[in-house]
Structure 1
Amino acid sequence: MMISSWRKRRAAKRAGKEQQRDGNGEMELTIPRDFRCPISLDLMNDPVTLSSGITYDRESIEKWIEAGSFTCPLTNQVLRSLEPIPNHVIRRKIQDWCVENRSYGIERIPTPRVPISSMEVSDILSKIEFACKKQDSEGCRALVTKLKSLAKESERNKRCIATNGACGTLSEAFATFSAVAVASFDENIGVLEEILSALITMFPLDGVAKGYLVSAPAIHCLIWFLSSGDLSRRRNAVLALKELVSSMEDQRKTLNLLSEIEDAIEALFKLIKNPICSTSTKASLTIIYHMITSYSFTTSSSTSQKQVTKLVNLGIVPLLLETLVDTERSTCEKALGVLDGIVENQQGRELAYNNALTMPVLVKKILRVSNTATEFSVSILYNLCKNEQREDGGVLVEALRVGAFQKLLLLLQLGCVEKTKERVSELLKMLNLHRNKVDCVDPVDQFKDLKRPF
């Protein structure tokens, strides 16, 4: 044991290491000062040198620069260049030191891949632009594949690619090949799919990129992808459309273009009926919500009513109610938002009246999910109740049976936004007229016979 300890001390001395004992008297290995990052004080995995001559770990110094600091942390010298240079000498010394001390459980740091530079990104993007002008779909596809592969290597690469205008170039390429694809779609489907896949990895898109995508050929291409059988293609298409409708600058034009495409609503509906993933479901609900909300359109509100009628005929009401029975917060809010728009339509209201899930689900969501979900639930209830025309009170009586009166009173006591407060007050007045027709019970009891648990 003594000989073993002596050998370790001798090896440490030869390597120029410092050692110290821990609380149990065991020898501890101290990382040489030159191998530590001056910022994190940890062993450097990817040593890089700044224009000041000081070496740091790449991850630490890049975080420093991204935070808006353009000086050397150690010397406070203003940096002439923000591009750190790999220090191969220090990296090899660190690797050798790791190998020598593997008996201490230290693993050799891998040789890092050299990250892409701004110059390399600009070169690739220039070649993509040239390939677009020549309508060279295969050449463009190969370049986009290379760019996407580099972006996946590291977050640093992805940031470098995005900050050098890749989103705008790729969006322009997508718009260009979408326009060409009208005549020869089969020849361009591969490059369009690859460009869209690369764009998705770089969200959120900037205004320039969105501007290229908001064109009739590009939107038609996205809807075609949305209707195709390939799952990743459908997911990417719906995420791109959601990105466009979420932008106030591009929302109206995008929605108007979507309203002109016959298959758009059906393709979005299918994504909810046969979900790929929760992200694509939420994206589809978001787009539909904007499409059926009349104030989003530059045209008349009849456009949105046509979309509502299509959705009602496809079976959106029972689908939304079944989705609401058991779903997470974000999806719940979006599904309620769509249902709120649907019940503005008489046919949609009739289907809601006749569905056994409507009242139990809506009352259950009040004060249960979020403020947004509560506001949408109250809005739907208000719309259904104020348009009730049956003499027996129909939907009002059903609401009382599942405990709507108590829930709304509690909401009024806890407080809510003014518009919701007004609707709650009106609902309580309407419900009060029929309280003698039914004994109000705990709404939880009403869920015992439902097929799907909450």
Structure 2
Amino acid sequence: MISTWRRRVAARRAAKKKSIEEDDNANMELTIPNHFRCPISLDLMKDPVTLSTGITYDRESIEKWIEAGNVTCPITKKILRSIEPIPNHAIRQIIQDWCVENRSYGVERIPTPRVPISSHEVKEVLTKIEDAIRRNDDESCLDFVSMIKSLSKESDRNKRCVVSNGAGRVLSAAFDALSKRDPIHEHVALHEEILSMLMISLSSPLDEETRTNLSTSESLHYIVRFLRFGSLSSRRNAVLALKVILSCNDQEVVEDLVKREGLLDALMKLIEEPICPTTTKASLLAMYYILKSSQSNPDKQATISKFLEMGLVQNLLEILVDSERSVCEKALGVLDGICSHREGRNKVSENVLTVPLMVKKMLRVSDLATELSVSILWKLGKDEENGEGTVAIEALQVGAFQKLLLLLQVGCSGTTKEKVTDLLKILNVHRQSVECIDSLDFKNLKRPF
């Protein structure tokens, strides 16, 4: 019994001593060795890389330095012979071992990073894609496109490397070459993969060669084809490509596109049956560019009429009822484009939702949404300036006069200010007969003073 009691006392003392030691260790501040810290961020390096000057940095920090346009080493100030940093595996392994040794302090072991793709590797794969296209080797081409697509998705750094080494030019040329082959139905899988990769690598504005490749009649045929009959992902990629192509404001390309059967219907379907917010925004932007192009050409009223027949106005107003800022701005942009045509203004003014929604969006969504809402009301108001003033009366009933006055006070662009002044003059004529305001419209407005 005595020996048992002694063992228990000894065990309690040992446990108490261990607890004290652990508390002491917890209270000790762990110091990171200086050579483990990045000279730029001063944090523990997670992916140490060495420059041509021999100084080691964390990859994320030094790449931001280089991307900012710097061509010198931050420490030595020497000109870099190469901007490609070299992974320092030795120091990374030492840091990982140090992390393991100090895990009792809450230090987590840094993961072994993937080695990012280099410019040389990107150019090598792109060259193989060009060779495969020339040899009509679709199977190999598909493998190389899938490879570079996978690498691009690994990190933003890889994506930037792929884009900067001419992926858009090579892939658009491959897309165009496939579009000119016969029979065309044999290359659908490769076409879809190239289009998908193009959406990763494309940026606006396009370089001349990429724009030319995607704007050929054959390439446009395939893009519209995917937009009409493709899978959900293909339709998404097609409308994104269409948005980028139309943003170049090439009149000939717009004319070619609007003549293609089913294009407007396919865009309308993406509005009525949205796939994702990105697709909806791209569809609205494509419509906006088409309408913008038609404004300067009276012969293109057929395009406006087609949109109106498909119920675009009603769909836009329904989107505006409850949508996030970016979608709201683009829907207002399309509606403003419609109001640039007499037939469009007539259709917009007929809808009972138009005026209440335009007044509601002012000073609530964004500066751009406010300017577009004012522009739409101004175009509708000018049409009936000397008439019965149906739009003006309705605008007064929902508090437009007070909002417009407030807009002048908080400030707006010169063009919008002129439109607001015109609208106030139009509304003022009817103020004697009817006026109503909902004060709740102003409850969340931030005062500038």
| Structure 2 length-normalised TM | 0.85
> Do the aligned partners of 1:70 and 1:82 also contact (CA within 8 Å) in 2?
yes
* Residues 1:333 and 2:329 are matched in the alignment: yes
CA distance in 1, matches of 2:350, 2:415: 27
CA distance in 1, matches of 2:102, 2:188: 54
Count of aligned pairs: 425
User: What is the CA distance between 1:319 and its match in structure 2?
Assistant: 1.0
Give a deviation string over 1:350-382, Cα, whole Å, max 9, x none.
433332212211222233333332332233223
> Do the aligned partners of 2:329 and 2:369 also contact (CA within 8 Å) in 1?
yes
* Residues 1:273 and 2:272 are matched in the alignment: yes
CA distance in 2, matches of 1:417, 1:46: 48
* Residues 1:371 and 2:377 are matched in the alignment: no
1:312 maps to: 308
CA distance in 1, matches of 2:388, 2:40: 75
Give a deviation string over 1:171-201, Cα, whole Å, max 9, x none.
1111211222xx3333211111111211222
2:299 to 293, 298, 302: 302
| Shift in alpha-carbon separation, 1:111–1:231, aligned structure 2, 3 A | same
2:320 maps to: 324
1:77 maps to: 78
1:63 maps to: 64
Give a deviation string over 1:210-261, Cα, whole Å, max 9, x none.
232122222221122222352222222111221222235xx33432222221
2:393 maps to: 397
> Do the aligned partners of 1:408 and 1:428 also contact (CA within 8 Å) in 2?
yes
* Residues 1:192 and 2:191 are matched in the alignment: yes
| Shift in alpha-carbon separation, 1:294–1:203, aligned structure 2, 3 A | closer
User: What is the CA distance between 1:74 and its match in structure 2?
Assistant: 2.8
CA distance in 2, matches of 1:34, 1:398: 71
Provide the secondary structure at the position in 2 that maps to 1:48: strand
Identity of aligned residues (%): 54
* Residues 1:343 and 2:339 are matched in the alignment: yes
User: What is the CA distance between 1:6 and its match in structure 2?
Assistant: 12
Amino acid at match of 2:66: I
CA distance in 2, matches of 1:30, 1:421: 60
| Shift in alpha-carbon separation, 1:76–1:313, aligned structure 2, 3 A | same
Amino acid at match of 2:232: L
Structure 1 window deviating more from structure 2 (127-136 vs 98-107): it is 98-107
User: What is the CA distance between 1:389 and its match in structure 2?
Assistant: 9.5
- Gapped runs of 5+ residues in structure 2? 1-13, 442-449
CA distance in 2, matches of 1:274, 1:51: 54
Pairwise CA RMSD of aligned residues?
Answer: 3.0
| Shift in alpha-carbon separation, 1:421–1:113, aligned structure 2, 3 A | closer
1:292 maps to: 291
CA distance in 2, matches of 1:7, 1:407: 69
Provide the secondary structure at the position in 2 that maps to 1:360: helix
CA distance in 1, matches of 2:100, 2:414: 69
User: What is the CA distance between 1:440 and its match in structure 2?
Assistant: 0.7
CA distance in 1, matches of 2:185, 2:238: 18
CA distance in 1, matches of 2:244, 2:402: 40
2:355 maps to: 359
CA distance in 2, matches of 1:50, 1:5: 46
- Gapped runs of 5+ residues in structure 1? 9-20, 447-454
User: What is the CA distance between 1:414 and its match in structure 2?
Assistant: 4.8
| Shift in alpha-carbon separation, 1:76–1:377, aligned structure 2, 3 A | closer
Give a deviation string over 1:262-309, Cα, whole Å, max 9, x none.
211111111111112222212211111121124676xx3322x21110
Structure 1 window deviating more from structure 2 (49-58 vs 306-315): it is 49-58
2:445 maps to: none
1:14 maps to: none
> Do the aligned partners of 1:290 and 1:296 also contact (CA within 8 Å) in 2?
no
> Do the aligned partners of 1:171 and 1:212 also contact (CA within 8 Å) in 2?
yes
| Shift in alpha-carbon separation, 1:147–1:311, aligned structure 2, 3 A | same
> Do the aligned partners of 2:295 and 2:340 also contact (CA within 8 Å) in 1?
no
| Shift in alpha-carbon separation, 1:80–1:407, aligned structure 2, 3 A | closer
Give a deviation string over 1:124-163, Cα, whole Å, max 9, x none.
0110001111222222111010001111122222222221
1:233 maps to: 234
> Do the aligned partners of 1:132 and 1:173 also contact (CA within 8 Å) in 2?
yes
Structure 1 window deviating more from structure 2 (162-171 vs 239-248): it is 239-248
> Do the aligned partners of 1:294 and 1:301 also contact (CA within 8 Å) in 2?
no
| Shift in alpha-carbon separation, 1:64–1:101, aligned structure 2, 3 A | same
CA distance in 1, matches of 2:276, 2:202: 18
1:264 maps to: 263
Matches within 5 A, 1:190-229: 190-205=189-204, 206-207=206-207, 208-229=209-230
User: What is the CA distance between 1:93 and its match in structure 2?
Assistant: 2.3
CA distance in 1, matches of 2:88, 2:385: 79
1:39 maps to: 40
1:15 maps to: none
| Structure 1 length-normalised TM | 0.84
| Shift in alpha-carbon separation, 1:444–1:310, aligned structure 2, 3 A | farther
Give a deviation string over 1:49-87, Cα, whole Å, max 9, x none.
222223222222222222233333333333322222222
CA distance in 1, matches of 2:57, 2:421: 64
| Shift in alpha-carbon separation, 1:151–1:443, aligned structure 2, 3 A | same
1:451 maps to: none
User: What is the CA distance between 1:312 and its match in structure 2?
Assistant: 0.6
Structure 1 window deviating more from structure 2 (55-64 vs 409-418): it is 409-418
CA distance in 2, matches of 1:238, 1:197: 11
1:440 maps to: 435
CA distance in 1, matches of 2:173, 2:253: 16
CA distance in 1, matches of 2:398, 2:65: 57
CA distance in 2, matches of 1:44, 1:413: 52
Amino acid at match of 1:267: A
